[in-house]
Amino acid sequence: MGSLSLITYRIKKNPILTLLLPLIALCSIYFVVFRTDDSIIGIGSLPISGHKWAHEVENTWYFPYTSRFKMPRYSYKTQHNWLFNDRVEDIIPEGHIAHYDLNKLRSTSDAAVDKERVLILTPLQSFDQRYWNNILQLSYPRELIELGFIIPRTKTGEEALKQLEIAIKNVQSDKKNQRFAKVTILKQDSQSFDKLQEKERHALNVQKDRRAAMALARNELLFSTIGPHTSWVLWLDADIIETPITLIQDMTAHDKPVLAANVYQRYYDEDNKENAIRPYDFNNWQESDTGREIAAGMQPDEIIVEGYAEIATYRPLMAHYYNKNNPIGEEMMLDGVGGGCTLVKAEVHRDGAMFPSFPFYHLIETEGFAKMAKRLNYEVYGLPNYLVYHKEEFN
């Protein structure tokens, strides 16, 4: 009598086994499949409200997003290889070998169709709900957007972090297809970049220290978040509270290595008693002969910071070139950029363009970055008629 017959025999003798066997098998399924996943919202049996977040247990966060069940993929679309499936695993468990073909990674004018990944990077000194709402209204597919923040380890930084965490939780525990591909938050305090209040922040004599610290924060954020799959990096200031919803599509469509939007500010014009706009960011500029002469006469470690009467460079500033009657897509060559809303092809960073915290051709931070991009043979452009808005300043 074989073991099969034995089982049949035992089942006949004891019919309760006929129910127990499938039940045991089903329980096995449950434990094997769901046991390791019980922190995943919506998969385990707990309601979200009763869920204990992973970071509450172990000081980290873990919000899976998947439109498919397990390991999502993304594709490097190629023009040539229409015959073969060129999909590449994106997230691969530790200890993998990942092959990335940087020549297949593209940053094109048709980014969304091409499924190009955009990394939005923001050094966050304070959290403004309007900044977040503006991010949420962007129409570029969120599954292609990664967010990265660096937050100073200060009291205001901690406050901003709390608000940011709440905002992110709301989105990343919402419908799966509404979640961002990835969110990375870095904390760093070595050189706090927010120690200065809004008013002092713009005094020329503190600009060098402040912007050097800001440059370090940008580099730490950039080096920690850019991946081999990143196609574009959008530097977006935490104070930018209003952009067109097609911001990413509009800017990638220009297909430029570095492209800055024009940062303006809404205010109430007391004289004319009406709402009005005024230029805000003066770091987007073209070099001038005067600027070159000033630089030539400087000591090696002196820097020029644009936008101050003390150093009159007579540089053409993009902020002043806005003309609502001209096409919104008009381009302007630039030599310096700000960090308000600037889109960079990932290859520019990958080739080495970073934010110098030391004087680089008498420039630092984002202005030094533009110079470095130029040294790497990339062109730098701005969109004088494409406006994004910085929040008001309280005096």
Span 46-65, contacts to a copy of itself by CB under 8 A: 54-55, 57-65
Contact (CB, 8 A) for 392 and 266:
yes
204-223: contacts with a copy of itself (CB under 8 A): 215-216, 219-220, 222-223
Q: Which of 70, 175, 273, 324 binds a copy of itself (CB under 8 A)?
A: 70
Residue closest to 264 by CA, chosen among 192, 209, 324:
324
Shortest Cβ distance from residue 184 to a copy of itself (Å)? 5
Contact between 356 and a copy of itself (CB under 8 A)? yes
Q: Detail the DSSP E strand segments found in 225-363.
A: 230-236, 240-242, 258-269, 274-279, 332-333, 341-345
3-state secondary structure of 285: strand
Shortest Cβ distance from residue 135 to a copy of itself (Å)? 14
For residue 33, give the amino acid letter. Answer: V
330-349: contacts with a copy of itself (CB under 8 A): 349
Shortest Cβ distance from residue 176 to a copy of itself (Å)? 8
Question: Nearer to a copy of itself by C-beta: 1 or 4?
Answer: 4
Q: What is the C-alpha separation between 276 and 389, in angstroms, rounded?
A: 12
Pull the structure tokens for residue 287: 């070099």
Contact between 352 and a copy of itself (CB under 8 A)? yes
Q: What is 118-146 written as a DSSP string?
A: EEEEEE-SS--HHHHHHHHT--S-GGGEE
Q: Which residues pair with 333 in a beta bridge?
A: 381
Shortest Cβ distance from residue 317 to a copy of itself (Å)? 26
Shortest Cβ distance from residue 81 to a copy of itself (Å)? 9
108-147: contacts with a copy of itself (CB under 8 A): 143
Q: What is the C-alpha separation between 334 and 285, in angstroms, rounded?
A: 5
Q: What is the C-alpha separation between 41 and 62, in angstroms, rounded?
A: 10
Shortest Cβ distance from residue 20 to a copy of itself (Å)? 10
Token pair 């991009």 is found at 373
Question: Nearer to a copy of itself by C-beta: 82 or 84?
Answer: 84
Shortest Cβ distance from residue 87 to a copy of itself (Å)? 6
Question: Nearer to a copy of itself by C-beta: 69 or 82?
Answer: 69
Contact between 95 and a copy of itself (CB under 8 A)? yes
Question: Nearer to a copy of itself by C-beta: 307 or 359?
Answer: 359
Q: Which of 3, 45, 49, 103 binds a copy of itself (CB under 8 A)?
A: 103
Question: Nearer to a copy of itself by C-beta: 64 or 288?
Answer: 64
Q: Which of 82, 84, 270, 274 binds a copy of itself (CB under 8 A)?
A: 84
Q: What is the C-alpha separation between 38 and 245, in angstroms, rounded?
A: 36
Contact (CB, 8 A) for 74 and 115:
yes
Shortest Cβ distance from residue 96 to a copy of itself (Å)? 5
Total residues contacting a copy of itself by CB under 8 A comes to 93
Residue 185 host element (H or E): strand 182-188
Contact between 69 and a copy of itself (CB under 8 A)? yes
Shortest Cβ distance from residue 73 to a copy of itself (Å)? 9
Q: What is the C-alpha separation between 113 and 108, in angstroms, rounded?
A: 10
Question: Nearer to a copy of itself by C-beta: 327 or 352?
Answer: 352
223-282: contacts with a copy of itself (CB under 8 A): 223-228
Question: Nearer to a copy of itself by C-beta: 28 or 326?
Answer: 28
Q: Detail the DSSP E strand segments found in 307-379.
A: 332-333, 341-345
Q: What is the C-alpha separation between 116 and 367, in angstroms, rounded?
A: 26
Residue closest to 284 by CA, chosen among 352, 359, 370:
370
Pull the structure tokens for residue 233: 């990096």
Q: What is the C-alpha separation between 380 and 273, in angstroms, rounded?
A: 38
145-204: contacts with a copy of itself (CB under 8 A): 153, 168, 172, 179-190
